[in-house]
Amino acid sequence: MMTIIYGTLLFVAIVVLIYIAQKDHDNIDIYQWTMLLIMSVVITAYWLRSQVATADGAYILQCFAYFDSTYLLCVVILYLLHIIGIRTWPWVKIVLYGLASLHVLVVFFCYHTDLYYSSIILTESSMGTAVRTVPGPLKILHLPYMAVMVGVLMAVVVLAVRRRGTYPLLHFIAYLALPLLTMVLYGVELLLDTGFSLIPLLYGLGAVMIALRYDKAHAYDIGFLMAESHREDEEKGYLAVSPEREFLACNRRCRDFLPFLKDLQVDERLPREDELGRKILKFLDAYEKGYALRTKYKLGDMTCIASLVPWGLGRSGGQQGYLLEIYDGTEDQHNLDILSDFNRSLNEEVREKTRSIREIQRKVVLGMADLIENRDSNTGGHVRRTSDIISIIVAEILRQGKLPLTEQQGRDIIRAAPTHDLGKISIENNILNKPGQITEEEFAIMKLHAAKSGELVKILLDGVERESFVQVAYNVARYHHERWDGRGYPEGLVGSMIPLEARIMAVADVYDALVSKRIYKEPLSFEKTAAIMCEGMGTHFDPRLKPVFLGCREELEQYYQQHGR
Report whether pLDDT(432) > 80: no
What pLDDT sits at residue 228?
45
Q: How would residue 358 be classed by pLDDT, with cut points 50, 70 and 90?
A: low
Handedness of CA 432, 434, 437, 442 (dihedral sign): negative
What pLDDT sits at residue 259?
94
Report whether pLDDT(364) > 80: no
Name the percent of the chain in helix, strand, coil, to the closest 5: 65, 10, 25
CB under 8 A, 24+ apart: contacts of 406-413 = 408/468, 409/472, 409/500, 409/501, 412/468, 412/469, 412/472, 412/473, 412/501, 413/472, 413/476, 413/501, 413/504, 413/505
- Give the residues across from 296 on adjacent strands: 305
Report whether pLDDT(151) > 90: yes
pLDDT digits (tens, 9 = 90+) for 31-80: 999 999 999 999 999 999 888 888 889 899 989 998 999 999 999 999 99
Please give the average per-residue pLDDT across 196-204, as a whole number. 90
Report whether pLDDT(159) > 50: yes
Which residue has better confidence, 518 or 370? 518
Report whether pLDDT(344) > 90: no
CATH architecture of the domain 2-220 equals: Up-down Bundle (1.20)
Other CB atoms within 10 A of residue 318 CB: 9
Contact 209, 35 (CB under 8 A): no
Q: How would residue 229 be classed by pLDDT, with cut points 50, 70 and 90?
A: very low
- DSSP code at position 90: H
Instruction: State the pTM of this model.
Output: 0.53
Contact 501, 551 (CB under 8 A): no
Listed residue (265, 299, 297) closest to 283, CA to CA:
297
Question: What are the backbone dihedrals phi and psi of residue 250, each rounded to the nearest 5 degrees, phi first?
Answer: -160, 160
What pLDDT sits at residue 25?
58
Q: What is the spatial distance between Cα 322 and Cα 240, in angstroms, rounded to a whole number?
A: 6
Contact 248, 313 (CB under 8 A): no
Residues in the chain: 565
Report whether pLDDT(313) > 60: no
What pLDDT sits at residue 554?
94
What pLDDT sits at residue 270?
94
Residue 532 to residues 203, 383, 392, 535, Cα–Cα distance (Å): 104, 22, 19, 5
Is residue 259 helix, strand or coil?
helix
Among 281-290, 334-343, 349-358, 488-497, the least confident range: 349-358
Q: How would residue 216 be classed by pLDDT, with cut points 50, 70 and 90?
A: confident
Tally the C-alpha atoms within 13 A of residue 244's C-alpha that lie toward its C-beta. Answer: 6
3-state SS record for 334-387:
HHHHHHHHHHHHHHHHHHHHHHHHHHHHHHHHHHHHHHHHHHCCCCCCHHHHHH
Report whether pLDDT(444) > 90: no
Report whether pLDDT(494) > 90: yes
Mean pLDDT of the chain: 86
Other CB atoms within 10 A of residue 93 CB: 14
What pLDDT sits at residue 258?
94
Among 51-65, 127-141, 366-380, the least confident range: 366-380
Is residue 270 helix, strand or coil?
coil
What pLDDT sits at residue 347?
76
Is residue 310 helix, strand or coil?
strand
Fold category of 224-328 in CATH: Beta-Lactamase (3.30.450)
Q: How would residue 505 be classed by pLDDT, with cut points 50, 70 and 90?
A: very high
Tell how strand 128-135 and strand 236-241 pair up. Answer: unpaired
Share of the chain above pLDDT 70, in %: 89
Return the domain boundaries, the chain: 2-220, 224-328, 352-563
Report whether pLDDT(362) > 80: no
Report whether pLDDT(230) > 60: no
What pLDDT sits at residue 378?
46
Cβ within 8 Å of residue 123, ≥6 positions away = 129, 130, 131, 132, 195
Among 202-216, 328-342, 404-418, 427-441, the least confident range: 427-441
pLDDT digits (tens, 9 = 90+) for 74-102: 999 999 999 998 888 889 999 999 999 99
Query: Which segment, 166-170, 218-222, 475-479, is predicted with the most confidence on average?
Result: 475-479
Fold category of 352-563 in CATH: Hypothetical protein af1432 (1.10.3210)
Tally the C-alpha atoms within 13 A of residue 40's C-alpha that lie toward its C-beta. Answer: 16
Please give the angle made by the CA atoms of 542, 543 and 548, to the nearest 5 degrees: 90
